[in-house]
Amino acid sequence: MRTFVPNARPGGHPVDPTAGLYAQRLLEDVGEPAARAAGATPPTDADRWRESGLMALTGYPDAPVAACPVPIASLADGVLEALRSAGGAGILRDLRGADLLTLRAAMTGLGRRGNIAPGGSCRILPCADGHVAVNLARDSDWQALEAWLQVPTPPDWPAVAAVVSRLSKGTLVERGRLLGLAVVDAQPDPPEATAWFERCHAVAAAPAPRQPARVIDLSSLWAGPLCSLLLREAGCEVLKVESSRRPDGARRGDPAFFHFLNAGKQELSLDLHTATGRDALLALLRDADIVIEGSRPRALRQMGIHAEQLLEEVPGLTWLSITGYGRGEPQANWVAYGDDAGVAAGLSDLLHRATGRWMFCGDAIADPLTGMHAALAALATWRSGGGALLSLSLVGTVRHCIRFARETAAQ
């Protein structure tokens, strides 16, 4: 086995040992050889945490900055290094992987807020028997408060916190999931040793992948669009398809960040509530090499679109499914966003153990981490002939990073 040696990027950024080891592990997982490069004097994990901007997004504004026990910045660097090894050294050549974790915060001026996520929609709250993270990102989430908490509750955080403090985390999580709310136990069980991506369905690979790959991106917000951005940087042609009645929610956010994620992609809006719109989408999917989607599996099935069936019909198709918790039941129906997914994976619990205070790690950290991992899995699978339905989850990706950190620390 060849060794991945830390190397300096064209912009002069050396890669630390943890990033190199993680890049090597990921490349092995997707069947790609690790590239040998010239060595350099690398920074430490602590250096990368500070330089990346994650330190400015983790902890309380009135307290000393906090460092996550998991070297998230270094691991993010490793993902982008692995992708560059597989898809070309020019992929986002002026950025390191950890820069993608903090880019939205840098563009929008977000900072650390302790137990309030930098973006503001998610909070870690005490309950009767522990702590939960609650993400009320949509107007419909606030409208569901009474059904969730079972008492009349004004739509403000102090009122929510007062009721949550009297209920058990099991009740809060179970009711929340039934109502489509992102509510998680902030003290999860240690992660099991599972792979960071799963091949849920596979058919015969195509003998010669088409060049360049045609990517149909049905995803929204952050993880999926970042994945297709990285694939575009690797030379793929990307078409972003949105529902005319429900466009990408990221359009309501910072325009500069949305432009960064989607610049250079073709765009198409279809009315997916009509037969004509659904037929047009199916035609696009049948001519695709890579499909990226971030919806719960039942959403596409209700429109008559079945990933497994399309894999049988389209030789060499790579179908990438990005969800909160995976495609298995019942977790396929659970809602998750980047902030609460990081808590569900265990990052805030680790920070609490280290500092004695509950806080978020970074800004919606599971989104960019998953988007980078997804791009590597999709690119490697397409290069090897496709014919697979790949499943990645926000929670599973962060759990994999935590497990890798524990394994390397124990060696």
Task: Report mean pLDDT in 10-residue bins for the chain, 411 residues.
Answer: 35 74 95 64 79 94 90 96 94 94 96 97 98 97 97 97 98 98 95 88 88 96 98 97 94 95 97 95 97 91 93 97 95 96 98 97 98 98 96 97 92 76
Specify the pLDDT at position 40: 52
For 48, the 3-state DSSP assignment is helix
Specify the pLDDT at position 33: 86
* 295 within some domain: yes
H helices of 71-133, in order, are 72-87, 97-108
Question: CA 18 → CA 2, 22, 44, 102, 273, distances in Å?
Answer: 16, 6, 8, 19, 47
Specify the pLDDT at position 44: 80
* 220 within some domain: yes
* 304 within some domain: yes
What domain range includes position 244?
Answer: 198-330+371-398
Specify the pLDDT at position 65: 84
Widest Cα–Cα separation across the chain: 63
* 50 within some domain: no
112 neighbors 60 (Cβ within 8 angstroms): yes
Cis preceding-peptide flag for 126 (omega within 30 of 0): no
Q: Please give the Cα distance from 130 to 125 (Å, whole number).
A: 9
Domain count across the chain:
1
* 292 within some domain: yes
Specify the pLDDT at position 3: 32
Tokens of 43: 């920074």
* 44 within some domain: no
Q: Which element (helix H / strand E) includes 14? A: none
Q: Which element (helix H / strand E) includes 354? A: helix 347-355
Q: List Cβ neighbours of 172 (8 Å cut-off, separation of 6 or more).
A: 127, 132, 134, 148, 164, 183
* 377 within some domain: yes
Which of 87, 66, 173 has its CA nearest to residue 129? 173
- Within 302-352, strands assigned E span 318-323
